[in-house]
Structure 1
Amino acid sequence: MTLLVAGIALVNTGDKTGPSAHGQRPAAASGTRSEPTTDSRAGARAAAARIAERLGGTEMMDNEARRRLFTEIAAPALRQKIIAEHDDAYDAEFFAQIGLSPQGKPPAGTEFISRTEASSGTVTHYQAQQRATVEVPCTGIIGLKGPDVHEPPEASQFTMTITLIWHRGEWRFTESKQT
């Protein structure tokens, strides 16, 4: 799961072994109260799309922001495991592969671009008040921009399969896969 999310960033470079780095979007994910989701197929689709966009965001490059994200969206029973897996995946080696410092920061004078737009997905599995799996088509853009950057950010299309559980009135993230 972690390498899949992590691999989104490397789709454009041809290396599919590192962490995700597609776009951040301020839309609420399941686990926030600003956009509640319902225990329905439509609610699961909406939650999965918001989560896919957040997993592809620049906040994944910042240790504290990434941990806050998973604290917000992950199923409580899996939260620490998910955080640890992603902390391991988002390491200095991965950051170097996408042009960032060992701390996940862009070089001076550049900006790291990472955005994902998710379409309404297809629910492939649904059990009311229990579990849902949603295939979410996404378009992402990733790269560095700045005066000395010679390669523009690149776009890619991919599908994230997001698995959710229904927990205390909302959909919570348990895992993802990317194709």
Structure 2
Amino acid sequence: MSPGDEHDYRGKDQGGRPDDPYSTLGGTRQTRTRLPDGDAGLPHARRPARNSRSLVTITGVVVLLIAAIAFANRGGGGGGDADAAPGAKKPGAAGSTPTAATGTKPVQGKNGTIASGFAHDAQGAQSAAANYAVALGSAEMFTKESRHRILDTVYSPAAADKLRAPQDLAYSAEFLARLGLDPDGNAPQGSTFISRTVPVGTKVLAFDDDTAKVAVWYTGLIGMSGEDSTKPVSTTWKTWTAQLSWLNGDWKVTGASESDGPAPVPGDVAASQSDAISKAVEEYGGFTYAR
């Protein structure tokens, strides 16, 4: 389940490529024009003599081209702060471009299936919020054991202790039955329960060394894929806002809230058959989100 679908299980206070024939993917959008080599093609043609001034000019142009290529390669290699223009914002600074990638390598750590070891800066807080949104919106939240493990990983110890009992009550047998699950959160034989959160972007609302407030705009998938399903998989659009604190060397959620949207206009793509959805969920894995 996405972090807070229509059932709002956390409560209010808790927390392609485009069909472009000119795509630059795998190409350069450049065309190569072959110019005639002097009077090549004419028998016994002679090239006009070049004076020394022309030779000096050509040599200067070649040197400039080589310098330009070297500079471009240097800039494309993800240079450090020494390459940045004076006054430019660092990747982790609050107020940096909200949705553009920074080029910093993603987090390497894992706590079970959840990323960990985020950077102690605004960029790391955004990465933590995005990955935590994915964990809280996963199908693992619907079984008690894995839900407790996610809460203990994502939230601070104090927040996790407060949330554990209310969460267990929220995932009641009645609630699970409305989704087509048994009291233990398992899908019927032959059906696949789907709950995924896909972050679209993150935004730092506040940052002060050891605390951060980050909004995650996401789309979610929720429903049962199967021939007899009465709740087919549908999409939702929401914004999850997390209060984060730096505890024991990592970012942890201390509180969260959620709101609907922003939601785009639905597209005109026809809905897929349930077996295609089930197969896609089995074959396509998730991502580790990093700024």
**Comparing 93-102 and 158-167, the one that deviates more:** 93-102
Return the match for 1:141 from 212, 217, 221.
Answer: 221
Determine if the alignment matches structure 1 residue 63 to structure 2 residue 139.
no
Question: Are the counterparts in 2 of residues 116 and 141 from structure 1 also a CA contact under 8 Å?
Answer: yes
Determine if the alignment matches structure 1 residue 159 to structure 2 residue 239.
yes
Determine if the alignment matches structure 1 residue 177 to structure 2 residue 257.
yes
Letter of the 1:139 counterpart:
T
Whose strand proportion is higher, 1 or 2? 1
TM-superposed deviation, 1:82: 1.9
Question: Are the counterparts in 2 of residues 119 and 136 from structure 1 also a CA contact under 8 Å?
Answer: yes
After superposition, the CA RMSD in angstroms is: 2.6
CA distance in 1, matches of 2:229, 2:207: 45
CA distance in 1, matches of 2:180, 2:131: 26
CA distance in 1, matches of 2:231, 2:143: 23
CA distance in 2, matches of 1:148, 1:98: 12
How many pairs align?
161
CA distance in 2, matches of 1:96, 1:19: 18
CA displacement 1:105-127 (0-9 Å, x = unmatched): 22222110111111331111212
CA displacement 1:82-123 (0-9 Å, x = unmatched): 222211211112112222122212222211011111133111
TM-superposed deviation, 1:31: 7.7
Comparing both chains, which one has the higher relative contact order based on Cα–Cα distances under 8 Å and sequence gaps of 6 or more?
A: 1
CA distance in 1, matches of 2:251, 2:230: 42
Matched residue, 1:118: 199
Return the match for 1:54 from 132, 135, 142.
Answer: 135
CA distance in 1, matches of 2:10, 2:115: 28
Return the match for 2:155 from 39, 61, 74.
Answer: 74
Question: Are the counterparts in 1 of residues 244 and 253 from structure 2 also a CA contact under 8 Å?
Answer: yes
Return the match for 1:41 from 122, 133, 136.
Answer: 122
Q: 1:105 to 1:68 in 2, by over 3 A?
A: same
% identity of equivalent residues:
34
Q: Which has the larger radius of gyration?
A: 2
Q: Unpaired runs of 5+ in structure 1?
A: 21-27
CA distance in 2, matches of 1:75, 1:116: 21
TM-superposed deviation, 1:35: 4.5
CA distance in 1, matches of 2:8, 2:115: 34
Question: Are the counterparts in 2 of residues 18 and 94 from structure 1 also a CA contact under 8 Å?
Answer: no
Q: 1:141 to 1:34 in 2, by over 3 A?
A: closer
